[in-house]
A and B are shown apart, each in its own frame.
Chain A
Amino acid sequence: MNLDSSVSIENAKVRDADKKCVFRVAVLSVIKHDYVARGVASHPRFELVVVADDPGVQDWVHERNQLFAEEKKIPYVRNVEQALKDYAIDVAVISTEAERHCDLSIRAANLGVHVVQDKPMSNRLSECDLLVEAVQRNGVRFMMWSRNMLPAILQATEIIRSGQIGSPNSIHVDFYFSKDAGPPKGSRKAGDPPIPWLDFQRAAHIDGSDGAIGTQPMGELQNEGVYALAYIKQIMDCEFLRVFARTTAAFHQVNVDNGVEDFATVSLELSDGMIATMAVGRIGAASHPDIGEIKLLITGTEGALVVAESRPEVGVYYRGQPGKEFRHQRVAIDNDFLLMDNFARAIDDGGTTLLDVHASRMITATILAALRSARSGRFEAID
C-alpha cells in the first residue's frame, strides 16, 4: 500500500504537477454507489466523459446508468469495449454488482485502461486472481475505493508511521453502521415468503445503503468489512496470515432470509507477530445517534492510540430536528480528492496505489477465509 508524502493534504494541494493532463473517465455501470464516480470527478485531473455497460443487463440497470449519464450530461453507451475505444478512455470507474466487478475491470485493463473499482473486489477469489494477472500484464494501475483518506485515518497512519507509539503490536477496529436494513429479525410472519435479496437491495438504493447489491447475497463482512481491513492494512503496513471469525444474522430479517451475516467478529494474525481484531456489522438505526461507532484502538511498544473515525465533527441540535438526521456532522473531509490524487500520482509515476490490486486481493482472501472459519470453527489460513 503506497502511502508516501502524497497523503499530506498540504503537499497534495500545492503540487504544481496537479496541472498535468486530464484523464478521460468512463463510468462502467453505476448502479449502486454513485459516490465513487462522483468522488473520481471531484479531482480536476479526472473528467467523466461517458457511461457504459453491457447491452444485455437488466432494464433497471440501464435506467440507473441512463439517469446518471443525463445528470452529468454525458452519453450512455450500451457497449463497454466500444465506449472505451471510441471515447479514448484512460480510466474506468466501476460500481456495479460485486459479481461483475472483476469482469468489467479485467476488460478495461485488457484495453490498457486504468481502473478505480468499488468494494468488494469480488466475491470469488478466482476472479481476483484473474484481475491481478490482467493488471500486471497490461501495466495499468488499479485502486479499490476506500475511506482510508478520512482525516482521522490519515492522522492515525501518520502517528504510527512516525513511530510515536513505538512498533505497533495490535489493532482493533470497530466498524458498526447504525443503519437499518429493512424489517428487524423475527418480523416475518408464518407463511410470508423470504425477502428477495436483489429486490431488497434495489429498493435500498434510495438511501445509499445498497452496497451489497447483486444476485448473490453478501453479508456485512464482505460489504463493510473491506473498509475495516483496509484500515488495518494501511495503518499496520502488514500482511494478513490467518483468521478466526464468528458471524451471526442478529438484526435484520433480510439477512436471516438470505443466510448471510449482519454482524461478525474477526481475530487476525498479522505479519511480524502483530495481531488484530475487528467487529463489523449493521446494528440498526436505534443503536447510535449518528452513522455508527467506528473506532480504532492501537497498541505499540511505547504507547497506544485511540481514534474515533468520525472526528473532526460538529454537533448540531435544534427544535424540530428530524429523528433520522445525524446530530453530529463530519467536517474537513477530503477523502475523494486525496484518493484520486494518489491514483493520479500512481499513473504519472508508474507506482502503486493506496489500495492496489494485491492489497485488494488480500482483503478479499481474508474475508473469504473468515467466512470459512465461521463455518468450520477453525483458525484458517488466508489463501
Chain B
Amino acid sequence: MIRLALIGGGWQAAHQLAQAILRFRELSITAIVPEHGDTEGEEIVRASDGSIVVSTLDTLLAEYSDTFDAAIVRSHLSRRVSVACLVARAGKHVLVQSPMASSSEEATRLLNACNSAGVKLMVGCSWRFRPSIVAVKRALESGKLGRPIFLRIHAWMPQVVSTSTTFLPELVELLDLSLWIYGELPNEIFGMAGPGYDMPGKQTSDLHSHLAFPSEGMALVSLTHSLCSSSGYNCLTLIGSSGAAYADDHNQSQLLYKGGQPAAIKTGEELQELIGLLREFTESIVQDRLSSLTSTEGKDALVLAEWVLKSATERHPIRRIGDLYEPRL
C-alpha cells in the first residue's frame, strides 16, 4: 500500500483525485493539506474516507510524517518548488503538478533536492495519459504511422479554468507532448502571440508555438485562454511518413437540443487521464524505476516554454547551436 498526501489544489481536482483513487487497491489518500486554510479539504476527506486534514505543511511534516509515503504537490506555482523540496527532504516521493516550477532554475533546484534525498520525482504532465493521446502514441510506437512528420495540437481553455496570464502552465504540458512524440529537442523555435501581447496593460488570449526538429519533423502548438464555454476544446493530429492519427474533440462530441442552436457536449477523458498518471507514479515507486515521465523531461519542456515565450515577445525565431538556444536575428 502506498499512502499519499495531497498538498494543495482546488476542490474539483481533489474530488476527481478521490474518484480515481477508488480504482486502486494499493493506493490511498491518508493526509490532506488544503491551501490557504480553506475548507475544501473537508470535501475530499469525506470522499476519501477518513484522511487526516491539517492546515499547514509544517504541521504535516512535524506531526504526521509517518502517515504517508508520497505526496501529490498541487500547490500554487509560486510555492510549488518550495513545498516539493520540503516534502522530498522528508524522504517522501513527489508527484508534482506540471509545470514543476516557475522557471528552469527553480526546476533544477527541485531536481537536486529529490536526487539528494533519494526519492522519486515525477512531473504530472497529464496529457500524456489522456486515452486519446495514448492511442495516438501507441500507433506511432507500433510503427504504423512511420516516423513523425508533423504534430499539431490545439488547446482552447475556458476563461474560468485558466489561472495564468503567462500561458506557462498549459504551454509546458503541450510542449512536453511535442518532446514526447519526437523524442528530441527542437532545433528551431518560433513563438507568436495574438492581439495585445506586446501592449502594456493588455493581455492576449492566443499563443502559437512553431517547432522544427532535427529529424525534419515539425510541430504547431496553439493555446487559447479565452473560450467562452464551460468546457474546453482539444485537438491533436499526428501525421507520420506512412499514416496519420487524429484525436479531435470535434469528433468526440454529442449534440444537445434544448432550444436555440444545439450545443456540443464533449465526452470527457479527464478521469481516465488521472488514473493513468497515478498508476504510472505508483508503479514507478513499487518497481523502483524511473517513471515514464522523468523530471528531466519536465524540465526540458519548461526550458522550451521559456524560449517560446521569449520568441513571442521579441518576434524572431530561436535556433539551437549545440546545447544552447539563441535568437536568430
Instruction: Please choose the segment from A25-33, A114-122, A221-229, A285-293 that sits at the chain B interface, where 4 or more of its residues have CB less than 8 A away.
Output: A285-293
B99-123 to A contact mask, C-beta < 8 Å, 1/0? 0000000000000000000000000
A176: Cβ under 8 A from any B Cβ: yes
B89: Cβ under 8 A from any A Cβ: no
In the complex, the answer to whether B237 meets A169 with C-beta atoms within 8 Å is: no
A308: Cβ under 8 A from any B Cβ: yes
A345: Cβ under 8 A from any B Cβ: no
In the complex, the answer to whether B316 meets A169 with C-beta atoms within 8 Å is: no
B217 to chain A, nearest CB (A): 8
B208 neighbours in A (Cβ, 8 Å) = 170, 267, 275, 277
B315: Cβ under 8 A from any A Cβ: yes
A101 to B134 alpha-carbon distance, docked (Å): 48
In the complex, the answer to whether B242 meets A306 with C-beta atoms within 8 Å is: no
Q: Which of B219, B226, B227 has the most CB of A within 10 A?
A: B226
In the complex, the answer to whether A277 meets B222 with C-beta atoms within 8 Å is: yes
In the complex, the answer to whether B152 meets A279 with C-beta atoms within 8 Å is: yes
In the complex, the answer to whether B150 meets A303 with C-beta atoms within 8 Å is: no
In the complex, the answer to whether B316 meets A246 with C-beta atoms within 8 Å is: no
In the complex, the answer to whether A297 meets B154 with C-beta atoms within 8 Å is: yes
In the complex, the answer to whether B250 meets A306 with C-beta atoms within 8 Å is: yes
A277 to B154 alpha-carbon distance, docked (Å): 11
List B179-227 residues whose CB lies under 8 Å from chain A.
188, 190, 192-197, 204-206, 208, 210, 212, 216, 218-220, 222, 224, 226-227
In the complex, the answer to whether A246 meets B218 with C-beta atoms within 8 Å is: yes
B263-288 to A contact mask, C-beta < 8 Å, 1/0? 00000000000000000000000000
B244 to chain A, nearest CB (A): 4
Kindly identify which residue among A167, A251, A297 contacts B235, using a CB–CB cutoff of 8 Å. Answer: A297
In the complex, the answer to whether A246 meets B192 with C-beta atoms within 8 Å is: no
A343: Cβ under 8 A from any B Cβ: no
A273: Cβ under 8 A from any B Cβ: yes
In the complex, the answer to whether A265 meets B218 with C-beta atoms within 8 Å is: yes
A308 to B194 alpha-carbon distance, docked (Å): 23
B310-329 to A contact mask, C-beta < 8 Å, 1/0? 00000111010000000010
A288 neighbours in B (Cβ, 8 Å) = 244
Kindly identify which residue among B197, B205, B222 contacts A297, using a CB–CB cutoff of 8 Å. Answer: B222
In the complex, the answer to whether A246 meets B227 with C-beta atoms within 8 Å is: no
* A378-B210 in contact given A172-B220, A174-B152, A287-B239 (Cβ < 8 Å): no
A370 to B240 alpha-carbon distance, docked (Å): 23
In the complex, the answer to whether B227 meets A304 with C-beta atoms within 8 Å is: yes
Band of interface residues on A:
35 or more
B219 to chain A, nearest CB (A): 8
Kindly identify which residue among B188, B205, B216, B233 contacts A169, using a CB–CB cutoff of 8 Å. Answer: B205
B167: Cβ under 8 A from any A Cβ: no
B164: Cβ under 8 A from any A Cβ: no
B309: Cβ under 8 A from any A Cβ: no
A248 to B241 alpha-carbon distance, docked (Å): 11
B243: Cβ under 8 A from any A Cβ: yes
A321-362 to B contact mask, C-beta < 8 Å, 1/0? 000000000000000000000000000000000000000000
Kindly identify which residue among B149, B154, B204, B243 contacts A250, using a CB–CB cutoff of 8 Å. Answer: B149
B192 neighbours in A (Cβ, 8 Å) = 244, 267, 269, 275, 277
In the complex, the answer to whether A172 meets B206 with C-beta atoms within 8 Å is: no
B231 to chain A, nearest CB (A): 12
A270 to chain B, nearest CB (A): 10
Kindly identify which residue among B205, B220, B233, B237 contacts A277, using a CB–CB cutoff of 8 Å. Answer: B220
A97 to chain B, nearest CB (A): 29
In the complex, the answer to whether B216 meets A248 with C-beta atoms within 8 Å is: yes
By beta carbon, the residue of chain B nearest A267 is B210
In the complex, the answer to whether A377 meets B154 with C-beta atoms within 8 Å is: no
In the complex, the answer to whether B154 meets A172 with C-beta atoms within 8 Å is: yes
A184 neighbours in B (Cβ, 8 Å) = 241-242
A260 to B193 alpha-carbon distance, docked (Å): 30
A283: Cβ under 8 A from any B Cβ: yes
A126: Cβ under 8 A from any B Cβ: no
B228: Cβ under 8 A from any A Cβ: yes
A267 to B226 alpha-carbon distance, docked (Å): 21
B246: Cβ under 8 A from any A Cβ: yes
A133: Cβ under 8 A from any B Cβ: no
In the complex, the answer to whether A379 meets B317 with C-beta atoms within 8 Å is: yes
In the complex, the answer to whether B210 meets A176 with C-beta atoms within 8 Å is: no
B228 neighbours in A (Cβ, 8 Å) = 302-303
By beta carbon, the residue of chain A nearest B264 is A306
In the complex, the answer to whether A306 meets B233 with C-beta atoms within 8 Å is: yes
A281 neighbours in B (Cβ, 8 Å) = 150, 239
A260-286 to B contact mask, C-beta < 8 Å, 1/0? 000101010100111101010101101
A308 neighbours in B (Cβ, 8 Å) = 250
* A274-B149 in contact given A170-B206, A172-B222, A265-B210 (Cβ < 8 Å): no
In the complex, the answer to whether B242 meets A284 with C-beta atoms within 8 Å is: yes
In the complex, the answer to whether A377 meets B156 with C-beta atoms within 8 Å is: no
A110: Cβ under 8 A from any B Cβ: no
B56-87 to A contact mask, C-beta < 8 Å, 1/0? 00000000000000000000000000000000
B133 to chain A, nearest CB (A): 18
B181 to chain A, nearest CB (A): 15
In the complex, the answer to whether A274 meets B222 with C-beta atoms within 8 Å is: no
In the complex, the answer to whether A263 meets B150 with C-beta atoms within 8 Å is: yes
A293 to B242 alpha-carbon distance, docked (Å): 15
A185: Cβ under 8 A from any B Cβ: yes
10 sample A-B contacts, Cβ–Cβ < 8 Å, listed by A number: A174-B152, A244-B210, A274-B194, A275-B192, A293-B237, A295-B250, A299-B194, A303-B228, A304-B226, A377-B319
Interface residues of A (CB under 8 A from B): 167, 169-170, 172, 174, 176, 178, 184-185, 244, 246, 248, 250-251, 263, 265, 267, 269, 272-275, 277, 279, 281, 283-284, 286-288, 293, 295, 297, 299, 301-304, 306, 308, 377-379
Q: Which 6 A-B pairs have the closest CB atoms?
A: A273-B195, A287-B244, A169-B194, A170-B206, A246-B212, A250-B149
